[in-house]
Structure 1
Amino acid sequence: MSEVKITLPDGSQKEYDAGVTVEEIAYSIGSGLGRDAIAGVVDGRKVDAYYEITDDVELSIITIDSEEGLEVIRHTASHVMAQAVKRLYDNVQVAIGPDIEDGFYYDFDLEESFNQESLEEIEAEMQKIIDEDIEVRRKELPREEAIALMEERNEDYKIELINGLDDEMISLYFQGDFVDLCRGPHLPSTGYVKAFKLLNTAGAYWRGDENNAMLQRIYGTAFASQKELEKYLERREEAKKRDHNKLGRELDLFMTVDEIGQGLPLLKPKGAKVVQILQRFVEDEEEKRGYQITKTPFMAKSDLYEISGHWEHYKDGMFILGDEEKDDNLMALRPMTCPFQFQIYNSKLRSYRDLPIRYSETSSLFRNEASGEMHGLIRLRQFTISEGHLIVTPEQLEEEFRGVIDLINYMMESIGIEDDIWYRFSKWDPENKDKYIDNPEAWKDSQAKMKTILDNLDMEYEEADGEAAFYGPKLDIQFKNVHGKEDTIITVQIDFALPERFDMTYIDENNEKQHPIVIHRTSIGCYERTLAMLIEKYAGAFPTWLAPVQAKIIPVSDDQLDYAYQIKKELEADDIRVEVDARTEKVGYKIREAQVEQVPYMLIVGSREEENGSVSVRERREGDLGTSPLAEFKERILAEIENKVINKEDAI
């Protein structure tokens, strides 16, 4: 029998008889590795543990306790769930069921609606399948045979998927009475799934297209051990408590109304106050850094968007006013502010001595998001951002880009999320010509410039192909919410295209016309999304400088009401946001309510405090801080506000 040479990750090599499996190699290295081996990577391709090796290859073993192993566990768990659903519901059709970052899901076409009782029944059936320890095996069938098999099993979605593949041989996984279209790899048998939990259900359009059938999606998770699963479920419960969509309503920060519509939240006085504080802070800081504020219309003729390229590349995401078939003078609500500010730039002749010009605007924008994409304050149809555009010469580009990053980092530090963000360099995809302005040389040049700048800034960043804006590469600032979903919260873009499209020019030192470069940026991103992040980050216990109510005065009895309002007046004179709880309730009840509302300080005043001109101070976390003169408390809270103190105990 011929032999094969196996190269392991440490560079060592071993020889085996041809046909040796990944699992057999793992056992030959060590019994512990053999027991933990659930799959392998052969020449860069993931394969099952029973995969037979017939040529010289590079091999690494995937163990059950590794990150890659966790993906295999979860993928197999999704198949176990699908098999359980098929056993319980005769008329169900299965769609797709991948592993995802925190678990797995599977989509089902079923007239009957899943509920919590359904999930419990499915879990019980899954456990039976696991206890049966059913062998999981991959087989390849010719396309026509695979289609015939799925027709026999009445799996229309699988047939559609197969028809969309170019492969002549189709990869299928057989698991007892269940067969699924899949590339794998999977666990050797269902008994390897040790700890799992079904979490919730949701609606999902087939292939993510709202024009397709609405399916039912079941989400679940799985781990290598019960202990890891329990830790995850504890974190998930904490995340539920911090979910801004729930907590923001409980704290009276925002609301939604069906009659107004999806993606159009109402910020109530407390939520609007937090956003107002942020806006004033951002606008003041930008002014200090040389930005000039503009105020531009919420809508424009389609002509403007045709020049910018948004009409060609972004029209589906815009709200169009008028009938495209009948109206010559179409209007659209603005999805961004850049074309408007470019008109201001073009209003007069510019010299290189005028540059850089930094425009800023607190911009309300409108984007026609799909109904399934919207969530709380995260994804909206109308939102407000700290938008800005810097018009610069090529020589100024790096310094101005550096200034933008410095501003963003200052904002992130001020709201306390600097440790929760990371950077992504989002690049052009030359294969996707319809998505981007077609100028390959300009794309290569601008991407090279941005990479040089990022490297010179000594920044750590990931790279992502195909995530650029249609007119230029961008630096995305990424953030995960409490549920682990990743979002882009801020972008900085280098734009080579729009200055030419709008014929933006300046006169250089040689008295010749040149096109400037534009840096698009936000400094704190979308204000509504920032509010959502802060709600979740601090579980509603905003840092004192951002709290809508910074102190609540609680008189012991009606006899101290006049003194309470006198304190309120004195604190408000220093712009401290204060409320008096004048209700005829017990002091303990008022304190508990103020703590639930996450008010940073409670000032209890009785007859003794009134006589001494003092206040009894309670802090929402530390509790009773004792009695102090009002002037002393005022000095404390003003220092906390001015220094934008972040209490790490309030944050996750």
Structure 2
Amino acid sequence: MDREIIAYKLNGEVIDTHSINGREKDAKPIYFDNSDESLDVIRHSTAHLMAEAILSLYPDAKFFVGPAIEDGFYYDFRATKEDGQKIGEDDLKDIEKKMKELIKAKNDFVKINSTKAEVLAKFANDDLKQEVLKRIPEGVVSIYTQGNFEDICRGPHVPNTRFLQNFKLTRVAGAYLGGDENREMLTRIYGTAFADKQSLNDHLKMLEEAKKRDHRKLGNEMKLFTFDEQVGAGLPIWLPNGARLRSKLEHKLFGVHRRRGYQPVRGPEILKADAWKISGHYDNYKENMYFTQIDEQEYGIKPMNCVGHVKVYESDIRSYRDLPLKFFEYGVVHRHEKSGVMHGLFRVREFTQDDAHIFCAPHQIKENVIEILDFVNHIMKAFDFTYEMEISTRPDKAIGDDSVWEVATSALKEALDEHHLKYGIDEGGGAFYGPKIDIKITDALKRKWQCGTIQVDFNLPQRFDLTYIDENNEKKRPVMIHRAILGSFERFIGILIEHTAGELPFFIAPTGVAIVPISDSHFEYAKSIKKELENLGVDAEIYSKNETLNKRIRTAEKAHIPYIIVLGDEEVSNKSVALRDRRAREQSNLSFDEFIKFIKEKLNEVDF
């Protein structure tokens, strides 16, 4: 099937062979391969094939939506087995088997166009189809069929089910109807598909490795954080190990912020609703915020830190000589995430941003973006991440003069060009208030994560009437640059745990050294080493339980502690240590002074 055409791209839109209607000469062909555009078509079609298999096995099943998503697809549906139980993980093999049977029929995907009224009548007794139709505007509505399955869908789809040989169903989950947590919970099955078997197998191996690296599993083993139903969903509780990790990361970043000219500030976590009305959050972001009443006035808990930093800027008269002003804060924010989307530290309701806002004149945008990019590069190298950039440009609806947008967008491009950084362009993808750079990191499993962002903002300075006095003693409007590098400490730590498989860099390791005295007579020496390490800022733990030596060493290894030292008669007598580097799988004997020198060198290996 190599080089077979399964769809076309016309005027930026992917159109399948059912819809091209003689316009092939004006379109770019999309071949059956593992390109992003081809995979989206293959995966969307495989979702429909899965739905057909589900319907064959459970004839009373009703279907909501089944889109292609990053790395795969899913379908939301309602179905019950003969025993009254919901479909679970154990049923996936039967559904896969039925899908393979259906592929052998080599059924064409057929597109049928109807009016919305006709489709409403056709599915009058299907409440889930009615829900889908509520979301579709008046006009032509398309239905795709293959074999005995049909669904309301705008496509695109492959020409025939023979293209869908390489797939795997990965998991079963629950999903609220339409994402509304107050409505019915439907069954959702996730899967993935590729154009060839080898790519599928490689992806499945990556998923297996991802399970081993799952930050929720490792976070539990390393005793970093926990969640508690009495506390609430999406509200992580940081245990001593995790709190030490965070503290070390925050401390390291604090120092480098100060060296780069940033001023620490702190805004309140709750502000009057009036402030959120001026900023625009009340009208545009209210459903994601938490509100309460105090003294008969409405207050909103902050979902971001920018308004507090605006108020810091407003606290004094600003001159052009003051600019740029760079404020930073480890700001705790709260957002009303839906229950179904929360996932460990990746999606939570309370998190801390490594937030900074730079107030500058328009002509200073470029120089400040260059400084931020240098900052980004140092941090990503320190954690062994590769990354890429994407610039999002002015959307159709935007505020600010065209000339200012041009200055800002050019500044972003020139800053990236001067760093010789490759970047993509998302035309029209910027926020209404200014262009931005998104920073996407790639982890050890080649997964991409959106973390940092650099956003140029003309909106908040205008809404809050921010000004500075220029060299002609005239009031001018500053530009505000929103900047986050990690994104949030929670999400970044989750990504870092999975990236390193729990082998965190030494300078932020919750416990850097495990000290294992062989017997009680070696305990005092262990305590003196622990104290010396803590004076260096290295957390150490003495493993002295009444257990075998090997078991205590294994316990320290399972906790992912970088260095383990074993102390016996010889070490006490010679003031030395038997050092085990659990990551390099190396052992050595060092004098006490050599060991302390070694630890100091390890602490200073990373410098932002």
Query: What is the TM-score when the length of structure 2 is the normalising length?
Result: 0.90
1:585-642: per-residue Cα shift (whole Å, max 9, x none)?
A: 2221112111111111110111112222111111112324221212112212211111
Rounded Cα–Cα distance in structure 2 between residues aligned with 1:458 and 1:244: 34
Q: Using the alignment, how far apart are the partners of 2:159 and 2:464 within structure 1?
A: 61
Counterpart in the other structure of 1:356: 324
SS at 2:516 equivalent: strand
Answer yes or no: is the 8 Å Cα contact 2:110–2:146 preserved in 1. no
- 1:355 and 1:231, CA in 2 relative to 1: closer, same or farther beyond 3 A? closer
Q: How far does the alpha carbon of each residue in 1:252-277 deviate from its partner, in whole angstroms, 9 at most, with x for none?
A: 10000111111211011111111101
- Once residues 123 and 305 of structure 2 are traced to their aligned partners in structure 1, the CA distance between those partners, rounded to angstroms, is 52
Residue matched to 1:27: none
**What letter matches 2:108 in structure 1?**
V
Aligned equivalent of 1:140: 112
Amino acid at match of 1:245: R
Q: Which amino acid aligns with 1:518?
A: M
What SS is found at the alignment partner of 2:231? coil
Is the Cα–Cα contact under 8 Å of residues 206 and 445 in structure 2 kept in the other structure?
Answer: no
Q: 1:295 touches 1:361 (CA, 8 Å); kept in 2?
A: yes
Equivalent residue, structure 2, for 1:632: 594
| Residue matched to 2:100 | 127
Per the alignment, residue 311 of structure 1 pairs with 282
Q: Which digits, 9 at most, give the CA deviation of each residue in 1:18-75, with x for residues without a partner?
A: xxxxxxxxxxxxxx85xx5252427565333998859855563613565544444333
Partner of 1:464: 426
Residue type of the partner of 1:294?
V
Please identify, of 44-53 and 387-396, the stretch whose mean Cα deviation from structure 2 is larger: 44-53
Corresponding position of 1:26: none
Aligned pair partner of 1:423 in 362, 366, 389: 389
Fraction of identical pairs, as percent? 37
Shift, 1:518, TM fit: 1.7
**What is the aligned counterpart of 1:383 among 342, 348, 351?**
351
- Structure of greater Rg: 1
The residue identity in structure 1 corresponding to 2:101 is: K
CA contact 2:356–2:482 (8 Å) conserved in 1? yes
CA distance in 1 between counterparts of 2:303 and 2:72 reads 34
1:386, CA displacement in angstroms?
1.9
Alignment of 1:316-335 (within 5 A): 316-322=287-293, 329-335=297-303
CA distance in 2, matches of 1:167, 1:42: 25
Q: Which residue of 1 aligns with 2:560?
A: 598
**CA separation of 1:144 and 1:100: change in aligned 2, threshold 3 A:** closer
- Residue 285 and residue 92 in structure 1: after superposition, are their counterparts in 2 closer, same or farther (change >3 A)? same
Alignment of 1:91 onto 2:57:
no
Select between 161-170 and 253-262 the one with higher mean Cα deviation: 161-170
What amino acid is aligned across from residue 396 of structure 2 in structure 1?
P
Rounded Cα–Cα distance in structure 1 between residues aligned with 2:268 and 2:20: 63
* 1:199 corresponds to: 170
Distance 1:86 1:139 in 2: 19
SS state at 2:355 partner: strand
Distance verdict in 2 for CA 1:180–1:366, change over 3 Å: closer
1:177-256 to structure 2, matched below 5 A, reads 177-210=148-181, 212-256=183-227
Aligned to 2:376: 408
SS in 1 for 2:487: strand
What pairs up with 1:151-550 in 2 under 5 angstroms? 151=123, 154-161=125-132, 165=136, 170-210=141-181, 212-322=183-293, 329-417=297-385, 419=386, 421-431=387-397, 446-464=408-426, 467-479=429-441, 487-550=449-512
Distance of 1:359 and 1:192 partners within structure 2: 54
The 3-state SS of whatever aligns with 1:520 is strand
SS, match of residue 524 in structure 1: coil
Letter in 1 for 2:6: A
Once the two structures are superposed, the pairs formed by residues 576-587 of structure 1 within 5 Å of their partners are 576-587=538-549
SS in 1 for 2:267: coil
Q: Is the 8 A contact 1:333 1:366 kept in 2?
A: yes
Task: Give, as a single letter, the amino acid of the residue that structure 2 aligns with 1:273.
Answer: R
| Structure 1 residue 409, shift from structure 2 partner | 2.0
Deviates more, 1:607-616 or 1:267-276: 607-616
Cα distance in 2, alignment partners of residues 341 and 129 from structure 1: 59
Say whether the 8 Å CA contact 1:243–1:482 is kept in structure 2: no
The alignment partner of 1:525 has SS state of coil
Q: Which moved more, 1:300-309 or 1:586-595?
A: 300-309
The range that moved more, 491-500 or 158-167, is 158-167
Which shows bigger deviation, 351-360 or 472-481?
A: 472-481
**Matching residue within 560, 564, 583 for 1:621:** 583
3-state SS of 1:322 partner: strand
Please identify, of 142-151 and 567-576, the stretch whose mean Cα deviation from structure 2 is larger: 142-151
Q: Secondary structure at the match of 2:303?
A: coil
Equivalent position of 2:44 in the other structure? 75
The one-letter code matched in structure 2 to 1:521 is R
Measured after TM superposition, the shift of residue 212 of structure 1 is: 4.7
Where do 5+ consecutive residues of structure 1 fail to align?
1-31, 647-652
Tell me by how many angstroms 1:380 deviates.
Answer: 2.0
CA 1:172 to 1:505, structure 2 compared with 1: closer, same or farther past 3 Å? closer
Q: Is the 8 A contact 2:16 2:158 kept in 1?
A: no
SS at match of 1:307: helix
1:444-464, Cα deviation, whole Å (9 max, x unpaired): 664455445444554322233
- Deviation per residue, 1:122-173 (Å, 9 max, x gap): 1222222223x24224142432796278438x54434554565568554433
Please list the CA deviations of residues 190-235 of structure 1 after superposition, one character each: whole Å capped at 9, or x if unmatched: 3443232211111223343445543211111223344433322221
Residue 185 of structure 1, CA deviation: 4.7
Contact 2:395–2:431 under 8 Å retained in 1:
no
Q: 1:480 to 1:94 in 2, by over 3 A?
A: farther
Deviation at 1:243, TM superposition (A): 1.4
* Alignment root-mean-square deviation, CA: 3.0
599-608 vs 91-100, which moves further: 91-100
Contact 2:365 2:408 in 1 (8 A): no
Tell me whether 187-196 or 598-607 shows the greater mean CA deviation: 187-196
Deviation at 1:392, TM superposition (A): 1.5
Matched residues in 2 for 1:481 and 1:205: separation? 31
Change (3 A) 1:43 1:338: closer
Q: Give a deviation string over 1:365-393, Cα, whole Å, max 9, x none.
A: 12222222322112222211222222222
TM-score, normalisation: structure 1: 0.84
Aligned partner of residue 478 in structure 1, secondary structure: strand
Contact 2:362 2:479 in 1 (8 A): yes
